[in-house]
């Protein structure tokens, strides 16, 4: 569950973006004394995500609004399912409507896309991870949605894990991968994970001699990954292998069946389609 201290700053920013000085249409047409009832309905089947965020949208617009959720994050909602009821000032509900729907629609899309990938690899040892390919400013929400969909969070940013990537290696091309990992680890707490990216089996062989926590196999074919796993097992390495790049719903099962421990998928957050939902006025 996301804390209000994480939710409120992002919600306030979104409301400021949408409402500006005021809702000029609603203020011109709707009496501030009008009380209405509304419901939020899913227009397609999907994983629900973002209920607490939507509630904070309505509460920050008007603390007197009554928000009654009838679905929880992580639930599968069928097309036509009502997930929340709202009652109170018609002006306030109309002001909050789009921002609340945008959050639920987007985050439910991320959770649903994540569930699709997780379901595809059931029965294997692999986990589905997200990446840093997130919407600027919304990373905490999107990574929460990945968890709701059954996925696993990769590093949150540049501060909580070290990952030596291709551009680092181009700059440090005269150093060995073993030395690069050792130098990285010397500057960090012993509990901080360190990964290193490789693009071929030769680099993998060298990386597995290091003290990295995981090796990222960048844009390798399923067959190359299978060879990588076989080599790792042959030498008895305990370093986890992570597949990244070119993973989709059609091939993720094949990658998982190679025996890798980790599969990272940028599309969970950068390419998940929003879910079709609506707020309907049902009484006044």
Specify whether 133 is catalytic. Answer: yes
User: Which structure tokens are listed for 117?
Assistant: 């990938």
Q: Which residue in 218, 240, 257, 261 is the catalytic one? A: 218
Task: Look up 218 and say whether it is catalytic.
Answer: yes
Q: State both tokens at 174.
A: 């005269």
**Which DSSP letter does residue 170 get?**
H
Smallest Cα–Cα separation from 254: which of 226, 229, 216? 226
In the block, tokens 């009821």 appear at 85
User: What CA dihedral angle connects 129, 132, 137 and 140, to 10 degrees?
Assistant: 30
Nearest to 162 by CA among 216, 86, 99, 115: 216
103: left (phi over 0), alpha (psi -120 to 50) or beta: alpha
Q: Is 98 a catalytic residue?
A: yes
Give DSSP secondary structure letters for 73-106: TT-EE-TT-EEEEEEEEHHHHHHHHHHHHHHHHH
* Strands laid side by side in the 35-42 sheet: 66-69, 82-89, 35-42, 277-283
Place of tokens 């920013």: 13
- Active-site option among 18, 82, 87, 98: 98
State both tokens at 31.
Answer: 């009496």
133, 139, 185, 226: the active-site residue:
133
How many Å apart are CA 160 and CA 194, to the nearest integer? Answer: 10
Cα separation, 284 vs 264, whole angstroms: 48
The token pair that represents 118 in the structure block? 């997780």
- Residue 242: strand, helix, or coil: strand
For residue 198, which phi and psi values (nearest 5 degrees)?
-130, 155
Catalytic position from the list 16, 22, 72, 165? 165
- Enzyme catalytic residues: 98, 133, 165, 197, 218
């Amino acid at each position: 569950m996301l804390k209000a201290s994480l939710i409120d700053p992002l919600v306030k920013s979104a409301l400021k973006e949408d409402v500006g000085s005021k809702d000029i249409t609603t203020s011109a047409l709707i009496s501030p004394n009008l009380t209405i009832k509304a419901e939020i309905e899913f227009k397609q089947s999907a994983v629900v995500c973002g209920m607490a965020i939507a509630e904070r949208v309505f509460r920050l617009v008007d603390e007197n609004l009554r928000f009654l959720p009838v679905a929880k994050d992580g639930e599968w909602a069928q097309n036509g399912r009502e997930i929340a009821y709202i009652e109170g000032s018609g002006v306030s509900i109309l002001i909050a409507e789009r921002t609340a729907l945008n959050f639920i629609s987007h985050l439910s899309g991320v959770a649903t896309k994540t569930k699709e990938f997780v379901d595809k690899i059931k029965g294997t040892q692999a986990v589905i991870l997200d990446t840093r390919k997130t919407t600027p400013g919304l990373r905490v929400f999107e990574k929460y949605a990945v968890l709701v969909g059954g996925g696993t969070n990769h590093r949150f940013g540049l501060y909580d894990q070290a990952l030596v990537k291709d551009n680092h290696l181009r700059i440090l091309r005269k150093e060995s991968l073993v030395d690069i990992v050792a130098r990285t680890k010397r500057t960090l707490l012993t509990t901080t994970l360190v990964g290193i990216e490789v693009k071929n089996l030769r680099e993998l062989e060298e990386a597995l001699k290091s003290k990295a926590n995981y090796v990222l196999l960048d844009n390798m074919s399923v067959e190359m990954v299978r060879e990588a796993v076989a080599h790792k097992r042959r030498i008895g390495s305990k370093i986890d292998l992570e597949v990244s790049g070119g993973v989709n719903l059609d091939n993720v099962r094949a990658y998982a069946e190679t025996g890798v421990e980790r599969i990272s998928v940028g599309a969970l957050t950068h390419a998940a389609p929003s879910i079709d939902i609506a707020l309907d006025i049902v009484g006044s």
